[in-house]
Chain A
């Protein structure tokens, strides 16, 4: 499955080990998406590429933001900004569970000493109009990954089915490195001339963002931004497929989807500010879902989404 590895000593070594491992399994190693997202799934390399018939294999780190989880950097394992490692392979290979277990070995988890379990956890993203079946993977009682076979995304049935793996990197790394508080975790080599801990890099930002997320973010402005993103998304998708300037068929699924991502993140911020009630939540989630579905509808009309001139 994989080469025997030395126990990693830092957060970044674990990331690098995962990158190397999944590159060897044939995945394209992508870079994070350059927008604020709540999870790696929002990256268009997952959301959009899981649609249509074209095969796909990608892996990447995705910084993820969950404003409500901010704890001013004080909680040992809760952050408003953290990293997910995401793998998406379409069609899901028959040995995906083995490939996944190989990745745990690659980051130094000794299969002979630990108790790895696949515990039912069906995944559903009401904002993306998506769901799948799978598990949370437990290592000695700790959830280290989410493992999902996508069944539907953006309201479209997935055919073929993608297999998605999501690793919560901080939690996983803390476990592997034996660290109790995320801020104490070595980020780079602890023997480097300038050793840096996770806290050196993120303690202050966690404080700053927690304060802004919870108490300062201007909710009136955010509410306006939400509507603007919604309007822009719809405006983009209402354009004719034929670009009058180039004469080409250009459906702008990705720019529209960017607006959907934006709306989703603004909703998360509003939620953290406590201005959205249980009942309103549903309405907002529904509005984002409508955008996600419209983007999915548009994407499957593009080449990357499986559309072809001949079939049309």
Chain B
């Protein structure tokens, strides 16, 4: 049972790709070997910045011989058919077996596949693996056509057994496999010849290479925490950084350095971001004060001066980085605290285009400001405070710190707002209004933050809708899907009831102002006033036209009559689509959501979600599922009768025309259900309403079993149809059940 050792030695592999690559190497090679009949006892893969290594123990030395039976044509089949079969099987006529079967005499070929030596199979499998390796990004180099993550220099591939090691003969694009590798680039660059995995790992360690990334990680963490502890400090945990740093070194040497006193007062996020992003340093803090006081860096070598030169260099680089940061921080604070304050930054944003059609950042901010003020009472915020928060939420985009570290946008805004003496709610909104950025990101919960976060997203959506820049397919350059999901999550997760239609119409108008020269400020003001008064755009537009001598003042304004409702409706269905995705992740079916979207008030997303969840829960019960069937049966009979008779049966079912007990029972059940449903609906308790409906399932079923709706007696028939109509009305109070599948 030989062991197999493979090492692919290359120029430096990006740290973030190493772990995945080691796994892929193991999976691809072992799958290939097993598929070819080479089973094994165990396998393990490792990675360093310069190598991927796979060791396989207890592998077969050859694949087993196998005989494959192949069924051919009948013995008396035409000559051509038999010839074809023989060609495919690679046999002659006399080698075939003829067997009697119920279908007559059939020819069978017994094809012997002799076992193949392990080396041959390994060479094939490894060649395929290298050529098809799933690197996230790969490259060519020199004149070759092979792709690898960085230039591949050597392949070590040996089969080792008790009696020694044998190189697997193979050549990939000019690279001949061998039994050699190299140690640490600087500490032991010479060639090493190895016999087996243990020999390999031991020789590498002597050549200053720790093969196992877990061992490097543990060593780094162990040394770093010890060093910090000895100084009464602690290392700020960062598993991602630890894995990355372990992927940057073959021989980790931990060094702890000082942060210049001048920089210790920078916000901790600035220190941490700068040290981590630029230098891959760990932050080391005082457990008492929480202040970051030192850093840990990991070098890739030992030196005669115990790392003194390396540490001095790293400290110097950090100083240069942090003096930049400090310079920005102090300049920014000076502006924030000055008389003109953050308004200077807001003003500066009037030179920065947000989008060539939608105007400058400053214009965007003033639209946000108005909308945040309108939203404030709906979300429990003070309108003045919300307007101010919106005004300053993006001011930090003009600050020097954010120019340098864009990832600190928002956070710096909150520091500067506090420095400028703004309220805590305003400072918080600067940081929170971008949220949620991802599906797992927290949504803002403070009322002022909510108002600004919603205003930001709704303005963005209506703006891009106003200029027809909607996401298409995979293209969503302005992250509008994310904005829509943000609106949904902020409203639903905060249980806020906001009617979006009216807000959309108003904000569309404010954005249209930018692209329609005929739409002047006073027109917008008038129309907005009318929208506020009439609630819907259609009525507002009519009122506006009526006041203007019953005609639109110009073509642009005339276009609004259809454009605004169209775009507003289109945006609403975009939000509904995103809502479907959001709810699908929570186990709510598409048809359930469609049934709820069909109800009035569907621009209140929180209401819509409550309906959908209640309906979804009910459908999971037997009563619920059967209720739908009963409802559909009632609705079908009723619809057919209404179509045939040309009338709508909607009123006047009277128990005195009931002929059977089942009919009377249904009357009673409907009365009882209605008594429960009406108050539940008034309280928007859809779960309660649905459970009352579900209780109708039994009486409805019993009614249909016992009663023929289309009675010969026209009075009885009309009465029963009106009874079905009551079922329809009651069952349609939460959702349009005709849209439910099945």
A contact set with B: CB distance below 8 Å = 75-78, 91-94, 97, 111-120, 122, 132-135, 139-142, 149, 151, 158-161, 163, 175, 180, 274-280, 283
Do residues A141 and B351 form an inter-chain contact, with CB atoms below 8 A? Answer: no
Give the docked Cα–Cα distance between A91 and B143 (Å): 6
- Can you give 7 A-B contacts (C-beta < 8 A)? A91-B143, A114-B310, A133-B138, A149-B151, A151-B140, A160-B143, A279-B354
| Chain B contacts for A118, CB-based, 8 A | 11-12, 49
Do residues B301 and A115 form an inter-chain contact, with CB atoms below 8 A? Answer: yes
B723 to chain A, nearest CB (A): 61
Known: A120-B16, A141-B297. 6 other contacts (CB 8 A): A113-B309, A115-B301, A115-B310, A141-B314, A278-B354, A280-B356
Do residues A115 and B140 form an inter-chain contact, with CB atoms below 8 A? Answer: no
| Chain A proximity mask over B140-159: 1 for CB below 8 Å, otherwise 0 | 11110000011101000000
Do residues A115 and B300 form an inter-chain contact, with CB atoms below 8 A? Answer: yes
**Which segment, of B212-220, B316-324, B415-423, B516-524, faces chain A?**
B316-324
Give the docked Cα–Cα distance between A280 and B361 (Å): 12
B15 touches which of A92, A112, A120, A139 (Cβ 8 Å): A120
| Chain B contacts for A175, CB-based, 8 A | 313, 316
Give the docked Cα–Cα distance between A112 and B304 (Å): 8
Give the docked Cα–Cα distance between A239 and B320 (Å): 51
Q: SS class of chain A's interface: helix, strand, loop or mixed?
A: loop
Do residues A113 and B305 form an inter-chain contact, with CB atoms below 8 A? Answer: yes
| Chain A contacts for B675, CB-based, 8 A | none
B contact set with A: CB distance below 8 Å = 11-12, 14-16, 49, 137-143, 149-151, 153, 186, 248-249, 279-281, 297, 299-301, 303-305, 309-310, 312-314, 316-318, 320, 323-324, 327, 348, 351-356, 360-361
* B12, B138, B281, B324: most-surrounded residue (chain A CB, <10 A): B12
Do residues A279 and B320 form an inter-chain contact, with CB atoms below 8 A? Answer: no
Known interface pairs A112-B303, A113-B304, A280-B356; A141-B320 also in contact (CB < 8 Å): no
Give the docked Cα–Cα distance between A182 and B140 (Å): 38
Give the docked Cα–Cα distance between A141 and B280 (Å): 9
A68 to chain B, nearest CB (A): 9
User: In this complex, what residue of A is CB-closest to B149?
Assistant: A133
A102 to chain B, nearest CB (A): 13
Known interface pairs A117-B300, A274-B351, A277-B353; A142-B139 also in contact (CB < 8 Å): no
Give the docked Cα–Cα distance between A160 and B138 (Å): 15
Do residues B143 and A75 form an inter-chain contact, with CB atoms below 8 A? Answer: no
A161 touches which of B16, B140, B361 (Cβ 8 Å): B140
Known interface pairs A92-B141, A141-B318, A149-B141; A114-B356 also in contact (CB < 8 Å): no
Do residues B150 and A133 form an inter-chain contact, with CB atoms below 8 A? Answer: yes
Do residues A75 and B324 form an inter-chain contact, with CB atoms below 8 A? Answer: yes
Give the docked Cα–Cα distance between A96 and B248 (Å): 20
A263 to chain B, nearest CB (A): 19
| Chain A contacts for B280, CB-based, 8 A | 119
B533 to chain A, nearest CB (A): 36
B139 touches which of A161, A180, A277, A279 (Cβ 8 Å): A161
A259 to chain B, nearest CB (A): 24
| Chain A contacts for B297, CB-based, 8 A | 141
Known interface pairs A140-B313, A141-B317; A135-B12 also in contact (CB < 8 Å): yes
Do residues A140 and B314 form an inter-chain contact, with CB atoms below 8 A? Answer: yes
Do residues A161 and B142 form an inter-chain contact, with CB atoms below 8 A? Answer: yes
B457 to chain A, nearest CB (A): 17
| Chain B contacts for A75, CB-based, 8 A | 324, 327
B125 to chain A, nearest CB (A): 26
Do residues B137 and A122 form an inter-chain contact, with CB atoms below 8 A? Answer: yes
| Chain A contacts for B314, CB-based, 8 A | 140-141
User: In this complex, what residue of A is CB-closest to B298?
Assistant: A115
| Chain B contacts for A180, CB-based, 8 A | 316
